[in-house]
Structure 1
Amino acid sequence: MNQQALSAFIWSVADLLRGDYKQADYGKVILPFTVLRRLDCVLEPTKAAVVAEFAAKTAAGINPDPFLLRKAKQSFYNTSDLDLRKLLGDPDHIRENLYSYVSAFSPSVRDVFDRFEFAAQVEKLAKAGLLYQVAEKFARVDLHPNRVDNHQMGLVFEELIRKFAELSNETAGEHFTPREVIRLMVNLIFVEDDAALSVPGVVRSIYDPTAGTGGMLSVAEEYLAEHNPRARLTVAGQELNPESYAICKADMLIKGQDVRNITFGNTLADDGHPTAKFDYMLSNPPYGVEWKKVEKEVRREHEREGFNGRFGPGLPRVSDGSMLFLLHLISKMRPAKDGGCRFAIVLNGSPLFTGGAGSGESEIRRYVLENDLLEAIIGLPTDMFYNTGISTYVWVVTNRKPDYRKGKVQLIDASGMWQKMRRSLGSKRKELSDTHIEEITRLFGDFEEADRDGRPISRIFDNADFGYRTITVERPERDEDGRIVVGLKGKLKGKPVADTKLRDTENVPLKEDVEAYFRREVLLHVPDAWIDHDKTKVGYEIPFNRLFYVFEPPRPLAVIDAELKEVTDRIKVMIEGLDA
C-alpha cells in the first residue's frame, strides 16, 4: 500500500466520525489510533515471547523491564496478551479492554497516549457507540515496518496533520517542514563531513529544538544510514504541541532511539536539555510569531545570566522570536575543542536586516559574524512552505569552519531553483527537485562564486562586509543673527551647541575610514558639521536581495514609442468600427 492509499484509508475513518465529531476534532481520534496500530504491528512478532517472559519474571520476583526489552527487540513493550485484533473478539467490553491494553505498554508509550488525551477520546467514542467500529477499521490495516517503512509512515503522519490543520484553520507548517527542504538542510550540515561520517562505528548527536513530528531528525537518520550503515546517530529534541510531540516520540521509539531525549515543553521558557551540547542541529522555528508569553522567563535569563545563558548577545523585538531560537542553538554547539558543531536553521527575511545599529537583532547578527559562526545563507524560492508563501532563508552556522572559509560568508540565491507541484498543498506550490538539491549542495561544497544565465547565484563576502558604523552628525545651533551658539559651562564651554533639529545619522561601512567618509560625504555639503563620537554605534545587516540585484537597463525609448503607437492604432481602429 503506497503512502497516498494508506492516508486515504486512514482518512476514511472520518466518515465514521462525521456528525458525532466536529471536523476540526477528527485528528484527536485518527492520530492516536494510527500510532496505536503502528505500535501494535511492530510488537506483533515478539508478542507471545514478551507475555511469557513477563509472567516468568514477575512470578520470580525479578524486575522484568530489561528482559522484556530484549525479548521485544524494541525500546518499548506491551505485557498484555491483547492486541487491537483480539479486542474485537469481545465487543461488549472493548472500552475496558482497550484501557487495559494501553496501560500495559511501557511508560514511554503510555506518555505518548497521555499527550494525545486518548482516554477522553475513548470515552467519547464509547458514548457515541463508535469505539468498536473505529477499532475494527484500524485493525484491518497492516502498519508493520516491513509493509510501511519509517520514511513512508512519517509522510502519512504529515499528510494527516496537514489535512486536520486545514479543517481547523490551523497552520500545518507549525507542525512540520517539507521533506525536500529538510533533505537540503541535512545535506548542508553533513556535506563537509562525509569522510568523518564514513568511519565504521562513528557516533554523532543531532538536536532539533522545534521537533514537530520528528521529520528533521528522521531524514538525518536516513541520510547517515544510507551513507554509513555502521554509523549511529543519537537524536534529541523538544516540542511544544502535544500531538506533534506524541507522534515524534512514537516514531523515535520504533526506531530504537532513547526517547528520554525527546522532551515536551516550550524550548525558550523551559529548556529540556539545559546542559547538552550537540554535533549537529536542525530547526524550522515559528517566524513572525511574538514571544510575549515567554517574555518574563527570557528577559530574566538575559539579564541574570548574560553570556553564561542563551540570550547574552541581545533580544529581538517581541513581535518575532525566531532569532531567539538562533541564539538557543548557538548555546547548544559542541565546543570547537571537542570537535565543534554545524547547524542549519530556516528563518524568514526579517533576521537578515531588521533593527538598526545597537538593536537586539543587530547585536545578535554582530555576535554571529564577529565570532565567525556564519558559514552560509541560502535564499529559497517563495511558496515552499505549507503555511506561508513568503521568502525563507537557510542559515548554516558552525564553530569549526575549514581554513578556506574562515572570515568569510557564502550567500547562495536559490530562489529560482524550483519546480511547480502537481497539486498545491496549502500555501505550498513549489518544490525542490533532487537536481535542485544537488546543485545547491554542490555550490555550497565548492565555495566559489558562480553565475547562472548571467545572474549571480553564489557570492562570497568577508564578515566585515556586513558591518557598519552609525555616526551621529551634529550641526551648530545659531542665534537670530546667524551666529553659532556656544556652551557656557561644563565640557561644552566654548564649543558649539548642537541643534537637535538638524541632527542626522550616516551609516559608514565598517571597512571604510570614518573620517574619510565624513569629509567626502558630509563636510563637502555642510562644512559646519561634526561627528559626536560618543553616539557612534556598530551595526550589522545582510541585505541579501540587494547583493544579488542585477540592474536591467530600460528598453530604448524608440521601442516603447513604437509599442504605444501600435496599441493606440489598434484602439483607434476598434473605435472607428464601433462608430460604423
Structure 2
Amino acid sequence: MAVTQQEIENRLWDAADELRVALPEAQYSSVVFPLMFWKYLSDTWEHDHQEFLDENDLDDLSPEEAHEIEYRDYQSFEIPFIHPGTVQERRASWSCILDTITQPGLGQRVRASLQAIETANPDKFSRLFGSMTWTSEEVLPGEVLAAVMQTMDRTPKMHEGNMSHDVLGGAYEYLLKRFSDGSGTRAGQFFTPREVVELIVEVLEPKGFESVYDPTCGSGGMLIASANLLKARGGRGYTLSLYGQEAVPDTAGVARMNLFMHNLTQFKVEVGDTLKDPRFKKPDGSVAQFDVIVANPPYSLRWKPWANDPRAIGGVAPPQFADWAFVQHMIASMDPKKGRAGVVLPKGVLFRSSGQEGSIRQRVLDDDLLEAVIGLPANLFYNTTIPTCILVFRAPGTKTEERMNGVLFIDASNRFAKAKNRNVLTNTDITDTVTAYHAKVCADGTTVDPDGEGGLAAQFVPMTEIAANGYDLNISLYVKRAMAEQADLPTLIEAYNLARAERQRTEQHMLAILADAGVEGFDE
C-alpha cells in the first residue's frame, strides 16, 4: 500500500516530539535530521542489498567478487561495519544499531555509525551529519535517544521502492517548517519561508543544465526550489548544477541531507564565511561564476570589512551593515553572458547612506546592474518583522533593451495573508508579482498586465531620474507618484462631482438654519 504524505509526516513529528523532555524545540533539527537521513540511507542500502541477494548466486562468487558486483551494479554508497574484528562488530546501519537499543552506550554507537558512513563515502557524505554533539549522554540521555529511534522506526521504510523522493523531500520540508514555526528567531538562520523562495526562483527562471549558487544557503531550500520549478515546467531538475556555501557546519549538513532527500545529487555545499573565505573559486583565485545566484543573507550583519578585495566595486560596506557586501559578492559571481541574481534584503539598503553604502549603490546603478526592486510585506520572516525587498541583478549588458539604463520598481508590500505567527504570500500574490516583473514596459515607464486585470503597482524609472534623487531607491519615491499619474480620469471626475454635490447640500442646509435664526449676510 502506498505511503501517504501525511502518514510519514505525522510519524516523523511523533519521533521529534519525544525530544520535548530533553531539548528545546529550537534544537530538534540537529537530532531529527541526522537520524532521519541515517534511516533513509540504511533502508535504501538494505533494499538494494536484498535485490542483489535475490538476483545472484553467492555460492558461485568469492567475497571479493560479490562485493565488487554489489557496489558496481546495485549500491550507490556504502554502509560499512563499525568495530570490525571485535565482538562489537556490526554494520553501521539503522536496523543493526536499533537491535542494541537496550544496551548502554547507544549514543556512542550511533556516533560511530554516522562517522563510519561519512568516512566510507568521502565524496558524498563528508561532514554530512554535523558535529553530532547530541550523541553525548550529557546532552541527550540514552533513554530519550532510544525513544526517538523507536518512534521513528514506526515510519514506513524510506527507500524508493516504498515511497517516492517527492514524498521523502516533502516530509523533510514539513519538518523544516514545523521546527521553524516553533523555534522563533533561530529559524531564520536556516529557513527562508517557501513562498519567498518560490517568488525569487520564478523571477530568475533557472533553465536546464544551468548552474545555481546560493552563497548563504541555509537548509538548501532555494537550490531545491530551482530544481522543482524546472521540473514543474516540464524540464529536468536534476540537470542543474547546484552550489551552496553555509557558515554554520550543522546547517550545511542539513542542506546536504535535504538535497539528497529530494534526489538531487549534482551539488556541492561548502562550509565557511562567504565574505571572508569564498569556497568556490576559479584557478586564478577569483570567485567562481554562475548562471543563477539566489540568497537570503543575514540582515545587517556586523562584519570585518575587506581591506583589499576585487569584489568591492564602488567601495566597502560599513562594519555594521554587511548587506551590500553580500550584493557585491553576488555581482562578482554572475556569469558574464547570462548571469542573474536575486537577493532578499531589508529595505534600508535602498536608501541608507552610512559609510560607503551610498557609493556602492551609485556604482551598481551607474553600471546598470540592477534590474528590479520588489517591495515585500513586513513580518514575512521568522527572524525579523521588518519589511524587506528583493533586488534583481543582471550581468553587465545582458538586460533586455527596454530595461536598459533604468530600474523596474514593484510594490507588493500590501499583498499578503495573515497566518498564526507571521504574514504569508499567497499563490495569487506570487503570481501577480511575477507577472508584474515580466510585464512589458511602455514608453512612459508603466507596465502592461498581459491579463488586463491591473495587477500590482509597478513603474520603470530611467537612471537619470534615480540619479536626480541622489541614487535613492526608496520604492515610494517612484511607485506612489506613478499610481497617481495612472489614476482613471472618469473615476476622478465622478468623485469630484459627488463631493461637489455633497458640499452644496451642506451649504444649503447651513443657510437654512442661519435664516431661521435670523442671521443674514451669508447669501451665495
TM-score by length of 1: 0.69
In the alignment, which of 129, 137, 147 is matched to residue 143 of structure 2?
Answer: 129
Q: Are the structure 2 counterparts of residues 280 and 129 from structure 1 closer, same or farther at C-alpha, using a change threshold of 3 Å?
A: same
What displacement does 1:463 show?
A: 2.0
1:3 and 1:156 in contact (8 A); partners too: no
1:310 and 1:327 in contact (8 A); partners too: yes
| 1:247 lines up with 2:241 in the alignment | no
The one-letter amino acid paired with 1:467 is A
The one-letter amino acid paired with 1:540 is Y
CA RMSD of aligned residues (A): 3.7
| 1:234 lines up with 2:232 in the alignment | no
Indicate the SS of the match to 1:394: strand
In the alignment, which of 163, 166, 181 is matched to residue 196 of structure 2?
Answer: 181
Which whole-Å CA distance do the structure 2 matches of 1:212 and 1:273 have between them? 16
| 1:158 lines up with 2:158 in the alignment | no
Deviations 1:139-187 (A, max 9, x none): 1113445256254134223224315523xxx431221111111111111
1:69 and 1:77 in contact (8 A); partners too: no
In the alignment, which of 289, 294, 297 is matched to residue 301 of structure 2?
Answer: 289
Which whole-Å CA distance do the structure 1 matches of 2:456 and 2:225 have between them? 30
What displacement does 1:229 show?
A: 3.3
Which whole-Å CA distance do the structure 1 matches of 2:42 and 2:456 have between them? 53
What displacement does 1:138 show?
A: 1.4
What displacement does 1:51 show?
A: 9.7
2:278 matched to which residue of 1?
271
Structure 1: runs of 5+ lacking an equivalent: 469-508, 510-538, 563-580
Is the deviation greater in 129-138 or in 96-105? 96-105
1:413 matched to which residue of 2?
411
Deviations 1:199-248 (A, max 9, x none): xxx51100001101010000100111222434610000011223321111
2:518 matched to which residue of 1?
none
2:295 and 2:342 in contact (8 A); partners too: yes
1:158 and 1:176 in contact (8 A); partners too: yes
| 1:545 lines up with 2:476 in the alignment | yes
User: Where do residues 496-507 of structure 1 align in structure 2 (5 Å cutoff)?
Assistant: none
Which whole-Å CA distance do the structure 2 matches of 1:290 and 1:125 have between them? 31
1:391 matched to which residue of 2?
387
The one-letter amino acid paired with 2:265 is Q
Which whole-Å CA distance do the structure 2 matches of 1:374 and 1:42 have between them? 46
Q: Are the structure 2 counterparts of residues 70 and 61 from structure 1 closer, same or farther at C-alpha, using a change threshold of 3 Å?
A: closer
Identity of aligned residues (%): 24
Q: Are the structure 2 counterparts of residues 88 and 164 from structure 1 closer, same or farther at C-alpha, using a change threshold of 3 Å?
A: same
Q: Are the structure 2 counterparts of residues 24 and 257 from structure 1 closer, same or farther at C-alpha, using a change threshold of 3 Å?
A: closer
What displacement does 1:266 show?
A: 1.2
1:571 matched to which residue of 2?
none
Larger Rg: 1
2:340 matched to which residue of 1?
342
Indicate the SS of the match to 1:410: strand
1:118 matched to which residue of 2?
132
Q: Are the structure 2 counterparts of residues 288 and 128 from structure 1 closer, same or farther at C-alpha, using a change threshold of 3 Å?
A: same
Which whole-Å CA distance do the structure 1 matches of 2:142 and 2:390 have between them? 48
Which whole-Å CA distance do the structure 1 matches of 2:53 and 2:362 have between them? 59
| 1:72 lines up with 2:87 in the alignment | no
2:466 matched to which residue of 1?
466
Which whole-Å CA distance do the structure 2 matches of 1:135 and 1:48 have between them? 23
1:436 matched to which residue of 2?
429
Which whole-Å CA distance do the structure 2 matches of 1:57 and 1:267 have between them? 49
Q: Are the structure 2 counterparts of residues 31 and 287 from structure 1 closer, same or farther at C-alpha, using a change threshold of 3 Å?
A: same
1:278 and 1:334 in contact (8 A); partners too: yes
1:310 and 1:328 in contact (8 A); partners too: yes
In the alignment, which of 213, 221, 233 is matched to residue 219 of structure 2?
Answer: 213
1:187 and 1:441 in contact (8 A); partners too: yes
1:532 matched to which residue of 2?
none
Which whole-Å CA distance do the structure 1 matches of 2:25 and 2:258 have between them? 25
1:410 and 1:447 in contact (8 A); partners too: no
Which whole-Å CA distance do the structure 1 matches of 2:473 and 2:152 have between them? 51
2:377 and 2:412 in contact (8 A); partners too: yes
Is the deviation greater in 368-377 or in 228-237? 228-237
2:98 matched to which residue of 1?
88
Which whole-Å CA distance do the structure 1 matches of 2:192 and 2:140 have between them? 35
Q: Are the structure 2 counterparts of residues 98 and 289 from structure 1 closer, same or farther at C-alpha, using a change threshold of 3 Å?
A: closer
2:285 matched to which residue of 1?
none
The one-letter amino acid paired with 1:91 is I
User: Where do residues 290-439 of structure 1 align in structure 2 (5 Å cutoff)?
Assistant: 290-291=302-303, 295=304, 298-300=305-307, 304-305=308-309, 309-336=310-337, 340-355=338-353, 359-399=355-395, 400-418=398-416, 420-421=417-418, 423-424=419-420, 426=421, 428-433=422-427, 435-439=428-432
Indicate the SS of the match to 1:133: helix
Which whole-Å CA distance do the structure 2 matches of 1:414 and 1:163 have between them? 24
What displacement does 1:350 show?
A: 0.9
Indicate the SS of the match to 2:409: strand
1:239 and 1:263 in contact (8 A); partners too: yes
Q: Are the structure 2 counterparts of residues 34 and 395 from structure 1 closer, same or farther at C-alpha, using a change threshold of 3 Å?
A: same
The one-letter amino acid paired with 2:127 is D
1:225 matched to which residue of 2?
231
Indicate the SS of the match to 1:176: coil
User: Where do residues 184-199 of structure 1 align in structure 2 (5 Å cutoff)?
Assistant: 184-190=199-205, 197=207
2:439 matched to which residue of 1?
446
What displacement does 1:128 show?
A: 4.0
What displacement does 1:465 show?
A: 1.8
Structure 2: runs of 5+ lacking an equivalent: 82-90, 283-287, 507-524
Q: Are the structure 2 counterparts of residues 58 and 282 from structure 1 closer, same or farther at C-alpha, using a change threshold of 3 Å?
A: farther
What displacement does 1:287 show?
A: 1.2
Which whole-Å CA distance do the structure 1 matches of 2:472 and 2:110 have between them? 57
